[in-house]
Amino acid sequence: MALHTKSITRPRFQKSLTHHAFRIIATACILITGGTAVSLGNETTDDTKKENSTLSLRISGEYEYLDTRDTIINPSNILQRPENRIETFILGEMQYKAPGGNVKGEFRFGYQNLFSSSDDFSDENTYNSQINQLYYQSSSSPLSFLIGRKKVRWGVSYAYSPTDLISQTRTPEDPDDRLNLVKGADLMQLSWIRDNGQFDLIYAPDISWNFNDSFIRRNRIGMRIYQLVEPFDISVVGRLEEGGNWAAGCNTTVTFGDALELHAEYVYNSASRRSYPNLDSNPSSLVDPFFNDRNGGTHEIVLGGQYTFPGKWNLVMEYLFRSAGLSDNEFTAYSERLDYLDNQMSSNPTATPYFYEAVSYFSVPSNRNYLFTRLYQPEITKHLSCELFSYVNLDDGSGMCVFMPKYESGNNYDIYLRVNKFWGGNNTEFGMVPDELSGLIGFSYYLL
C-alpha cells in the first residue's frame, strides 16, 4: 500500500535535468493535461471478445501543493519533503487483433518535478518510462493461453484486495490509480473457461529486467478457481513462492436487486514480511537492535458492500483487518522510540542513524483495524461528478479524507481538483504523516 518510507523521504531520482527549463515545459503541459481514474473489475473471462484493433493516447498531468508539518518522523522537515509537485505523462493503450488471439498493451512515459521555496531543498527532476501491460492472449476455447505482463485482478473489494495475490492493483489512498503507476506482473497463464466458472493457473516469476543480477530472482506459481453459485460469485486463490512461502484465501460477492452488493475477502500468508518493536527493550535508549523480525503466518480480512441510493448516489464501506499490523503496545513503543530519538539528535549525534532506522519502518497501514468509506455522485450536473472518501485507523482514531470533483467534457478533455487532509495526534499513525494537507489540479487531453 502507499505511503511507505520511500514516498515519505522522496529519494533522489537517477537523472537530473536543467530544472528551470523543464519546469517551464511541465507547467505549460499542466495547462492542457491531467489524470483520469482507471476502474478495474474482478476478472472472470478472457479479454479476447473485442474484435477490432484499437489505439488510444492521452497526455495527463497534475500540479500539487503540499502543506508539510513537523511530526515525530519529520521534525523540522528533516526528510526534506517538497512543497510542490508537477507531474506530466503520456499514456498509450492499444489492442491488436493478432493471429489466434489479441495483443494488449499499456505504456506510460512520464516526467516529475519536485521543488520547494526552502533553500535547504534541492529541486528534483526525473523522467521515466514503464510498460504497465503488454501481453498476448489466445482466443481458443475452452482453453486460453496468455503470456506477457498483465494486471491480474482476482479481488472483489474497492479499496484494497488481499486476494490479489499476483499483482496488487488497489490502495486505499488512491483506489483507482489515477496516475496509472500500477504495473502488471510478468507471467504465463493457462485458463479453462466453462459455463459459470473458470480455472486459472499462473507462473509469475520475479524478473530483473536490468540484468544486473539473476534474470529470474524468484519463482512463483498461482491459481484461482472461480464459480458462480447463485446468487454468490466465489473464488478460491493460492500462491506458492520459491523458498516455501505460500498464501491462500477466498472471496465472494452477492447482489440484491440493482442497489445493494456485499463482498468479503480472506487471505492467510504463511510468513510475515515486516519487523516489529521489541517490547522487552527500552524505547528510550540507544539499544540495538530495537526492531526484530517475527515468524509465523498472518491473516487479512475485508468485509464490505455498496449501495446505490435514488439519484445515483453510491456509498461504499469496507472494514479491513490485518493481523500483521502493530498492536497498541507495539505502536506505543514505536512512537516513544521516535520521540526519544528526536529529542536526542540535537545533543547526541550518535542517535541520528537510529532515528533514520526507525523512520524506515514507518508505513501506512501500520495498525490492524481500518474503515474505508466512499460516497460518489456521477452526475452532479451533466458533466460534473464528485467523490468523497476517507480511510480511518480504528485503533487510534486518526485518518485521511479526500474530496475530488471532476469535470468531464466528453471525448476531448477532463479536469479535476483533489484535496487530501490528514488528521490525528502526534503519536497516531496518520498524525505522523508529514503532509497535513495537499491540494492539486489535474487535467487530461485525449489525443487519440
Pick among 2.70.98.40, 2.40.160.10, 3.40.1710.10, 3.40.640.10: CATH of 5-446: 2.40.160.10
| Stretch 237-266: mean pLDDT | 96
Determine the Cα–Cα distance for residues 438 and 210; give it in Å rounded to an integer: 35
| Stretch 151-162: mean pLDDT | 97
User: How does the average pLDDT of the chain come out, rounded?
Assistant: 88
| Stretch 141-145: mean pLDDT | 93
Q: Where are the chain's structural domains? A: 5-446
pLDDT one-digit tens code per residue, 75-88:
988 888 999 999 99
Report the SS3 class of residue 109: strand
Determine the Cα–Cα distance for residues 277 and 330; give it in Å rounded to an integer: 6
Determine the Cα–Cα distance for residues 271 and 372; give it in Å rounded to an integer: 26
Determine the Cα–Cα distance for residues 152 and 44; give it in Å rounded to an integer: 11
| Beta carbons of 448 and 56 less than 8 angstroms apart | yes
Question: In the structure grid, which three cell numbers stand for residue 308, read together?
Answer: 446505490
Alpha-carbon separation of residue 173 from 52, 115, 365, 401, 437 (angstroms): 35, 23, 10, 9, 14
Q: Hey, which residues does 150 pair with through a beta bridge? A: 185
pLDDT one-digit tens code per residue, 406-448:
999 977 999 999 999 999 999 999 999 999 999 999 999 999 9
In terms of Cβ atoms closer than 10 Å to its own Cβ (0-12, 13-18, 19+), residue 317 is middle
| Beta carbons of 387 and 419 less than 8 angstroms apart | no
Q: What is the pLDDT of residue 35?
A: 35
Q: What is the pLDDT of residue 6?
A: 35
Residue with cell 486476494: 163
| Beta carbons of 435 and 412 less than 8 angstroms apart | no
Phi, psi (rounded to 5 degrees) for 211: 60, 20
pLDDT at 11 over 50: no
Report the SS3 class of residue 141: coil
Residue with cell 459459470: 196
pLDDT at 393 over 80: yes
Q: What is the pLDDT of residue 31?
A: 34
The lowest-confidence range among 118-132, 162-176, 186-200, 255-269 is: 118-132
